[in-house]
Amino acid sequence: MFASNIDKIVEDLERQELEAPTGIASPQVYSRLLAFYLYQNDLCNAKFLWKRIPSSIKSSNPEIGCIWTVGQHLWKSDFTATYTSLNAVSWSDTVSEIMKNVQDVVRSRAVDLISQAYSSITLDTVSAMTGLPPDVCAAACSERGWRVEHETKMIYPIRKIPDPIVQPSSEDQLYKLTDFVSFLEN
């Protein structure tokens, strides 16, 4: 439900920023837009937004700085600091749901990264990358079907098999190329 209309919300927030009567949007617009950029993992747009937010708004609304701190840690792929920054603040109603979803999506990306990049990894590293306590982390890994060795505290992830890419047959490609050339000749 949350992710279903994010693009429309972001577009609306960007429009509000552009159409602000004084050229400066409200702090709520900036904070929500910055948080949504982090949710989308659009760190370039988040950085450019941070640079164009007026200093007066940054200084009078410390929560915007806290959101950007999360963005900086995401930029560096520092998962431990990202979770620390996300949990260090009691987020306002304006961004609390977004930041909770940022944490969930960062955790999901970390799990996907672990499953694609590692054949074995320590429980402590998985715990740091997911922001979960080791005991919860071990249980979550077992639920995913990953092998967990409690004695050595090693996790053996199972690589997620990507959906097969359907390639058109050579005949289909030749037919499309012939149609295209025929169109150009006309």
- Predicted confidence (pLDDT) per residue in 72-82, tens digit: 999 999 999 99
55-60: long-range pairs with CB below 8 Å, 24+: 57/24, 57/27, 57/30, 60/27
Are residues 126 and 68 located together in one domain of the fold? no
Task: Provide the number of structural domains found in the chain.
Answer: 2
Are residues 19 and 99 located together in one domain of the fold? yes
Are residues 100 and 129 located together in one domain of the fold? no
Are residues 54 and 129 located together in one domain of the fold? no
Whole-structure pTM value: 0.80
Are residues 12 and 101 located together in one domain of the fold? yes
Are residues 132 and 55 located together in one domain of the fold? no
β-sheet bridge partners, residue 154? 122, 149
pLDDT per residue as tens digits for the range 119-141: 999 999 999 999 999 999 999 99
pLDDT of 2 above 70: no
Helix (H), strand (E) at residue 5? none
Are residues 8 and 67 located together in one domain of the fold? yes
